[in-house]
Amino acid sequence: MSKGNQVLEEITSKEYEHGWTVDLETDEAPKGLDENTVRFISAKKGEPEWLLEWRLKAFRLWQKMEEPKWPNVHYPPINYQDIIYYSAPKKKATLDSLDQVDPELVKTFEKLGISITEQKRLTGVAVDAVIDSVSVATTFKEKLGELGIIFCSFSEAVKEHPELIKKYLGSVVPMNDNYFAALNAAVFSDGSFCYIPKGVRCPMELSTYFRINAANTGQFERTLIVADEGAYVSYLEGCTAPMRDENQLHAAVVELYTMKDAEIKYSTVQNWYPGDKNGKGGIYNFVTKRGLCFGNHSKISWTQVETGSAITWKYPSCVLKGDYSVGEFYSVAVTNNHQQADTGTKMIHIGKNTRSRIVSKGISAGKSQNSYRGQVHVMKRASNARNHSQCDSLLMGDQCGAHTFPYIDVENNSARIEHEATTSKIGEDQIFYCLQRGIDEEAAVALIVNGYAKEVFNQLPMEFAVEAQKLLALTLEGSVG
Amino acid sequence: MSTTVTRDIKNEIAEAFHQSKFDVANDHRKSAFAFFEKTGLPGTKQEEYRFTPITKNLEKNFNWDIKATTSSINTIDEFLIPNLDANILVFVNGNYSASLSKIISPDTEVKIKTLSEAFKSDSATIAIYLDKVLTPESDPFAAMNAAFWQNGLFIHVPENTNVSKPIFILHFNDAGENQVISQTKILGILEKGSQLSVVEKFDSVGSNPVFHNFSEEWIVKEKSHLEYCKVQNDVGKSYQVANTIIHQSDNSLLNTFTLTLNGQWVRNNLSIIIDGEHCESHFYGLYLVNGNTLADNHTVVDHQKPNSFSNEIYKGIMDGNSKGVFNGKIFVRPHAQKTNAFQSNRNILVSETSTVNTKPQLEIWADDVKCSHGCTSGQLDEEALFYLRSRGISATLAKAMLLYAFASEVLAPIQNETLKSYLDILIAERLHNNF
């Protein structure tokens, strides 16, 4: 199948599409990290005293913690003093309307395919755009406001809704949860905050776009979504970064909180710069994402399509505390060239009759390593808990690796847990079948891979599904050998 | 290092080592002990021993006094497998008992010697194989065993020989008067084209604690066939670590079966190295435990060469406060193309206080392979129970029948009918009595 190899060569040598930079004047903190950096960030944001205290506490905890060594990824040690912890586009000022947004910025987002201005006319998606460290624009605010929905940048939320932030910040991911969560708690610069009041079904998709633009910076944003009783929201997150030779750190925290009967659907299309084909550069994506199904009958659903980043280290999890609560995790993780991914989920069953479902599809090509690491933990009182996990790996090329590390811990005898995993390559017989029917090899591979990932793509909102399919095609098409 | 510092057991072990006088392999022991000193005993923070608080238990229950303990036992009939016509080899508290053993196979079919004897008579072979596959680096208890072993067996099957009678090895520990710490070791070599069946049984009596640290290595050469069965039935306060490693060459066939019924806790590290093409390995296991037993099975199958097949089925039934731990690793190394590797782990929690921690693990570096694992935890099918009840079968019996049906699948690979029916009865009795 030398033709297949050729196609693989061509496709995998394709350049990263979002690798441009924009000259935005930025306001930066000096390199390095100490208590003064934390104070600097807090002062820049004009934060109240309690939040500064919270940050400092996290910083002191972080200093005592050690970087985790257990993930199946390898990278040179990170110099935390060589990172700029705060970088913001300068011309921020106060924005009353989108017309006042820096035209460079608008262009940036147009390049990304997210036209902030056009979004105003198009119905359907409200966007909060985060560049480097700060939220630059949020659309549809008023319209959402009419329904009592709060959707704004994190710093705005701190000023306008301190009582909500105080109550929920760190309630799902405590500041000392892990090394990167603690670092984030100390230096997080901005992010999105969303609150859906009782009984409201959010009429449009809410969306955040993250972009790292400046060099040497780390991005540390924090997203907090709270769905009150009976509320529903679907939330999308996308991200890109320019091509640079050095590695950049992205350590975000996402917290989801659902009350009784509420539901949050969180979708991610992650396309950070993965490094060049020799493994140089790229983003270290070390993210903590967790949802707490606090109330009975609540539901949290994670969908992720991971194609970017040099290293991905993330486990979107569900803590199923309320009785009858439901957790879902759908993931497609694609690695190529020298990318490494260690990703998966945790389903912690605490309440009675809780259910969870895991569908993870890993695709590795080139010299990449792709790991699924997941845990299903059924606590003692979680009677009748139910879990089904399926994790499949597809290998393309003989130099990549696929790894599965599922932990299943059951403390209740009425629980029913099933886990299945397979590893294989695209079968020669499958390709042969397509060729026979006049479908060329490249199209055949696209067909098979898309079919393989379909179960996950079906969970994505429509616009995202299209984008995800394109991304997948870009990273993989034809890579059967 | 140990997790809790109630007392430093490592120092006690070191002292015991330096004060001991061994007949053979002193240099070898010293280098193994150096490894042990470096790593120490595993704490629960260590991934491999996360669910097995072994160090704490050793500290709590044992004085590190390795003086040989005596036993007044003079018959072992009750621990034998009835009607099994086999070579019988018996270890009492870690020492070989010539009087209780009986070798019936001729010397031309299989050489069976104690390890201390073999160190003198077969030193060249020993030097090639001993502790080479199961290296002291691989596990702290393997290192400890390589340093401390009291005695063991050397089993050598010559080329193209079919050993007609199985080898039955009984590891018996008598803790009637004192605690027992026994450390034994087996080295078995099957030369090209040979065939052997081995049954190992672990029994203990007495109310004092027993710690048995057991290591064994099997070298299965080209076109050979090893059948290997292990029955762990230690009643009482028995703590056991068993490191078993089997090295397979081209076209070899392996059948193993591990049955865990009793013991305070049992830790099995079973590793199969497939270092040849067209090999076949079947490894089956059943842990059928109750009380406070902890049954921990860690298995590894390491496909290093292409075109081989492995199939693993482990099942667990947990009652009482028992705990089942399973970790099954499948490695497929780069270039081990056309590997087929399958694994399944299924568990039933019978009581409310039993738990299971399972972690099947696939690590694949080759693309043209078919690998899968599945694992489940659940309870008996309500409908099947109802079906039996509606036909006038009592609840207890219906449950026992279903559990028996669940368990007996793993007996399939055993060829020896006498052995099979014995194991069948063990399982059936256990299910009837306790569930």
pLDDT of A133 reads 52
Residue of chain A nearest B356, judged by CA positions: A410
pLDDT of A211 reads 66
Which amino acid is residue B389, in one-letter code?
R
Non-local (6+) Cβ contacts of A446 within 8 A are A473, A477, A478
Give the domain-ending residue among B240, B275, B310. B275
Token pair belonging to A180: 């990167």
Question: CA angle, B232 as apex, B4 and B238 as ends, to 5°?
Answer: 35
Which residue out of B344, B362, B375, B380 would a mutagenesis test of the A interface target, given it has the greatest number of A Cβ atoms within 10 Å? Answer: B362
Give the domain-ending residue among B258, B275, B292. B275
Are B413 and B265 in a shared domain? no
Q: What are phi and psi of B319, to 5 degrees?
A: -125, 175
Question: What are the residues of chain B with a beta carbon less than 8 Å away from any beta carbon of chain A?
Answer: 47, 334-335, 337, 347, 349-352, 354-379
A451 falls within a domain: no
Q: Per-residue pLDDT tens for A91-116?
A: 444 444 445 555 665 665 555 555 55
pLDDT of B8 reads 74
Are B162 and B18 in a shared domain? yes
For the beta carbon of residue A198, count every other beta carbon within 10 angstroms: 14
Model-level pTM greater than 0.90?
no
Least confident of A192-201, A353-362, A470-479: A470-479
* Interchain pair A408, B47: CB under 8 A: no
A47 falls within a domain: yes
Q: Which domain holds residue B387?
A: 381-435
H/E stretch holding B419 reads: helix B417-434
Q: Judge whether residue A394 has pLDDT over 80.
A: yes
Are B241 and B119 in a shared domain? yes
> Half-sphere exposure (CA, 13 Å, Cβ side) for B120?
6
Strand partners, A232: A201, A263
Say how many domains are in chain A.
Answer: 1
* Interchain pair A415, B361: CB under 8 A: no
Chain B hits for A479, CB-CB cut-off 8 Å, are none
Tell me how far CA of residue A313 lies from CA of A69, A284, A285, A333, B82, in angstroms.
11, 8, 6, 11, 56
Are B134 and B267 in a shared domain? yes
Q: Judge whether residue A135 has pLDDT over 60.
A: no
A457 falls within a domain: no
A79 pLDDT band, cuts 50/70/90, is: confident
B271 falls within a domain: yes
Give the domain-ending residue among B275, B292, B314. B275
Say how many domains are in chain B.
Answer: 2
pLDDT of A326 reads 95
* Rounded Cα distance, B70 and B178, in Å: 9
Interface contact A419, partner B, CB < 8 A: yes
B143 falls within a domain: yes
* Interchain pair A419, B375: CB under 8 A: yes
Helix axes A441-457, A2-12, angle to 10 degrees: 60
Give me the tens of pLDDT residue by residue for chain B, a chain 435 residues long. 444 445 677 888 888 888 888 888 888 899 899 988 888 888 877 888 888 888 888 888 888 876 767 777 778 888 999 999 999 999 999 999 999 999 999 999 999 999 999 988 999 999 999 888 888 888 999 999 999 999 999 999 999 999 999 999 999 999 888 889 999 999 999 999 999 999 999 998 888 899 999 999 999 999 999 999 999 998 878 999 999 999 999 999 999 999 999 989 899 999 999 999 999 999 999 999 989 999 999 999 999 999 999 999 999 999 999 999 999 999 999 889 999 999 999 999 999 999 999 999 999 998 888 898 999 998 888 899 999 999 999 988 899 999 999 998 898 878 889 999 999 999 988 887 654
A445 falls within a domain: no
CB B237 within 8 A of CB B210: yes
Chain B hits for A368, CB-CB cut-off 8 Å, are none
* Rounded Cα distance, A266 and A264, in Å: 6
Q: Which domain holds residue A357?
A: 2-426
Which string of DSSP letters, residue by residue, matches B252-318? -EEEEEEEEEE-SEEEEEEEEEE-SSS-EEEEEEEEEE-TT-EEEEEEEEEE-SSS-EEEEEEEEEE
Residue of chain B nearest A428, judged by CA positions: B368
